[in-house]
Chains A and B, each alone.
Chain A
Amino acid sequence: MSILVYVENTDGKFKKSAFEVVSYAKAIADNTSTDLVAISIGNVAQDELAALGNYGASKVLTVNNEQLSSFVNQAYASIIAEAAKNISANVLVLSNSFSGKGLAPRIAAKLHAALADGALALPTIEGEKLSVKKSAFSNKAFATVELTAATKVISLSPNAYETKETGGTAVVEPFTANIASTDFSTIVKEIVRATDKISLPEAEIVVSAGRGLKGPENWGMIEELADVLGAATACSKPVSDAGWRPHSEHVGQTGIVVSPNLYIAIGISGAIQHLAGVSSSKTIVVINKDPEAPFFKVADYGIVGDAFEIVPKLTQALKAYKGH
């Protein structure tokens, strides 16, 4: 048994989700008494690569050339699949990030592997079989998927597994793979990333608002609250449909699914399609002027009242608390 973890970088840096997948893969490696090998693609500095040792990788394979500086899922899938074959990996772990979602099925198909998408916890291992818990029916249920193929791919949900520092060190080794020219058939033209914003799927705290806010001009207080908390902002579907907020903030069944430690819903009624995207949040706070709003039924804490009055007060109270 051997385990490979693919570690995604953003502009040459590893983010929390990268350490999450390494920590997760390390736990599987420990449970199966094997070493963990990591693979990184793109331009990442040596010390950044070596730092993966601190989360449990004993070796880091690095693949870097001009052509691979932006994400091309076919080429990346070819490289990772080849590395997996090279070290005879029977378990491959990666993040269920936006790029990971496009990558994992392609790698699995190349390896004739079974794929568990969006794992929420460590797998249980029973002989050749590996079972993984994931969310199903848009967060209305959990399903345990049994992977029976010889090779298994697991994509880990962001925020589902705690990072663990091991104090270990890793050897960094270059890796070269044979990539066909047809693997470069997509060309990245532009990347637009709001660097000052916290990315929604990875955020530990999310402040979200709905139609109760009345109009886009009222989002200042939402952003201020998010700022104090170091939170990402989100919204309900009608809000993004109306163009009050960008589509990238829309959470729910047809939007992004989030599972932060804290989700604060302001002026959102709590329709079943909205809940589908947020109900796995660890703690939910609801602020709504209607005591009958369905959201209160799935909330941990609530305040019944007018958002325009409560949100600024809450921001003040948090500022005072943070000041301590």
Chain B
Amino acid sequence: MKILVCISNVPDTTSKITFTNDNTAFNTAGVQFIINPYDEIALSKAVELAEGGKGTVTVINVGDASTDATIRKALAIGADNAVRINAVPRDAWFVANQIANYARDNAFDLILTGRESIDYNGAQVGSIVAELLNIPSVSIAKKIDIAADTVSIEREIEGGKEVLTAKLPIVIGTAEGVAEPKIPNMRGIMSARTKPLEVLEATDVDTLAHIVHYETPAPRGTVKLVDSAEVDKLVSLLHDEAKVI
């Protein structure tokens, strides 16, 4: 089984988010970048599926050279090889087209993405890739089982779950629960240095959307503390002041 895992390079979950250029650009100064946590789940699942010679795992990233550290980390976790499409991501349409072009030339059985990237939270790339390849997609999978060419997926729905099946190839966006995140061991880290990382030039694709402005949420006023002996007072505040009950 040939598996492609799409990796996005995002600010560490503890990063303080600030902006520059009159709030039109994300300030990367001092920010540590990591593999998108959902992509780490996707990669861990891929490595699990490929274990024991049952398949190969390729990771792909659309990014400039600054993402190489994140790609090496993915190789350390257990991907066999990596591809970087050399371009600064412009929008989901642009990124998805680059990935779809590569996938078209390399016939993968399974394409995994994260359910969304934690920077722009678009949840777009995987489903667009699937549409461009004209194959099925499931955008938020909580469980994936594969037997021969059939995949069984549990997907999240409001207030419950849906179980569905499909034939490979398919694009699946992974959420918490699909796999335990794998931590790279020493051997993985050593071998990651010599695993192939191919850099390909991007194809020309138009841009459909772009961010023009950022803002940070207005800070909440200071907390109103209610004495633990006067719980009734909280009820009054929620009713009279906050008007939420």
Structural contact, A109 and B132, CB atoms closer than 8 A: yes
Asked whether A115 is an interface residue with its Cβ less than 8 Å from the other chain, the reply is yes
Which of the segments A58-66, A83-91, A283-291 contacts the partner chain? A283-291
Instruction: Report the minimum CB–CB distance from A181 to chain B (whole Å).
Output: 12
CA distance A196 to B105 in the complex (A): 48
Among residues of B, the one whose C-beta sits closest to the C-beta of A138 is B118
Taking CB atoms, residues of chain A closer than 8 Å to B186 are: none
Asked whether B96 is an interface residue with its Cβ less than 8 Å from the other chain, the reply is yes
Asked whether B51 is an interface residue with its Cβ less than 8 Å from the other chain, the reply is no
CA distance A310 to B226 in the complex (A): 11
Taking CB atoms, residues of chain B closer than 8 Å to A194 are: 159-160
Q: Which of B196-231 contact A (CB under 8 A)?
A: 207-217, 220-221, 223-228, 231
Structural contact, A135 and B225, CB atoms closer than 8 A: no
Instruction: Report the minimum CB–CB distance from B164 to chain A (whole Å).
Output: 5
Structural contact, B242 and A301, CB atoms closer than 8 A: yes
Query: In the complex where A185-B136, A301-B224 touch, is A137 in contact with B17 (Cβ < 8 A)?
Result: yes
Asked whether B134 is an interface residue with its Cβ less than 8 Å from the other chain, the reply is yes
Among residues of B, the one whose C-beta sits closest to the C-beta of A130 is B209
Asked whether B162 is an interface residue with its Cβ less than 8 Å from the other chain, the reply is yes
Structural contact, A301 and B234, CB atoms closer than 8 A: yes
Instruction: Report the minimum CB–CB distance from B20 to chain A (whole Å).
Output: 13
Q: Main SS of chain B's interface residues?
A: mixed
Asked whether B78 is an interface residue with its Cβ less than 8 Å from the other chain, the reply is no
Query: In the complex where A301-B234, A318-B235, A321-B235 touch, is A97 in contact with B158 (Cβ < 8 A)?
Result: yes
Taking CB atoms, residues of chain A closer than 8 Å to B242 are: 262, 282-283, 300-301
Asked whether A186 is an interface residue with its Cβ less than 8 Å from the other chain, the reply is yes
Asked whether A221 is an interface residue with its Cβ less than 8 Å from the other chain, the reply is no
Structural contact, A285 and B121, CB atoms closer than 8 A: no
CA distance A320 to B123 in the complex (A): 44
Q: Which of A160-180 contact B (CB under 8 A)?
A: none
Of the candidates B137, B163, B211, the one whose C-beta lies within 8 Å of that of A73 is B137
Among residues of B, the one whose C-beta sits closest to the C-beta of A314 is B231
Among residues of A, the one whose C-beta sits closest to the C-beta of B124 is A105
Query: In the complex where A98-B140, A118-B121, A144-B212 touch, is A248 in contact with B156 (Cβ < 8 A)?
Result: yes
Of the candidates B17, B121, B137, B214, the one whose C-beta lies within 8 Å of that of A106 is B137
Q: How many A-B residue pairs have CB under 8 A?
A: 268
Asked whether A299 is an interface residue with its Cβ less than 8 Å from the other chain, the reply is yes
Query: In the complex where A143-B214, A318-B235 touch, is A114 in contact with B228 (Cβ < 8 A)?
Result: no
CA distance A138 to B216 in the complex (A): 12
Taking CB atoms, residues of chain A closer than 8 Å to B139 are: 73, 98, 101-102
Structural contact, B209 and A148, CB atoms closer than 8 A: yes
CA distance A244 to B124 in the complex (A): 32
Structural contact, A98 and B235, CB atoms closer than 8 A: no
Q: Which of A178-210 contact B (CB under 8 A)?
A: 182, 185-195, 197-202, 205
Structural contact, B127 and A102, CB atoms closer than 8 A: yes
Q: Which of B32-91 contact A (CB under 8 A)?
A: 37-38, 91
Structural contact, B118 and A253, CB atoms closer than 8 A: yes
Structural contact, B235 and A317, CB atoms closer than 8 A: yes
Taking CB atoms, residues of chain B closer than 8 Å to A108 are: 93, 124, 128, 208
Structural contact, B157 and A261, CB atoms closer than 8 A: no
Structural contact, A302 and B225, CB atoms closer than 8 A: yes
Structural contact, B159 and A193, CB atoms closer than 8 A: yes
Interface string of A136-162 (1 = CB under 8 A from B): 111111111111110000000000000
Query: In the complex where A145-B211, A296-B223, A321-B235 touch, is A189 in contact with B131 (Cβ < 8 A)?
Result: no
CA distance A195 to B131 in the complex (A): 33
Taking CB atoms, residues of chain A closer than 8 Å to B216 are: 140-142
Known: A102-B138, A109-B128, A149-B209; 15 extra A-B contacts, CB below 8 A, are A105-B126, A109-B131, A115-B209, A117-B122, A117-B123, A136-B214, A185-B167, A189-B152, A193-B161, A205-B244, A283-B242, A283-B244, A285-B238, A297-B223, A317-B232
CB pairs A–B below 8 angstroms (22 shown):
A71-B162, A102-B137, A103-B127, A104-B124, A105-B96, A109-B93, A109-B132, A137-B120, A140-B17, A141-B215, A185-B135, A189-B165, A199-B159, A200-B159, A205-B245, A262-B242, A276-B13, A283-B242, A300-B220, A300-B223, A305-B228, A314-B234
Chain B residues at the A interface, C-beta cutoff of 8 Å: 11, 13-14, 17, 19, 37-38, 91-93, 96, 118-128, 130-132, 134-140, 142, 152, 155-167, 176-177, 207-217, 220-221, 223-228, 231-232, 234-235, 237-239, 242, 244-245
Chain A residues at the B interface, C-beta cutoff of 8 Å: 10, 71, 73-74, 77, 97-99, 101-106, 108-110, 112-118, 131, 134-149, 182, 185-195, 197-202, 205, 229, 240, 247-248, 250, 253-255, 257, 261-262, 272-273, 276, 279-280, 282-286, 296-306, 309-310, 313-314, 316-318, 320-321
The 5 closest A-B pairs by CB, nearest first: A305-B228, A193-B160, A102-B139, A105-B127, A199-B159
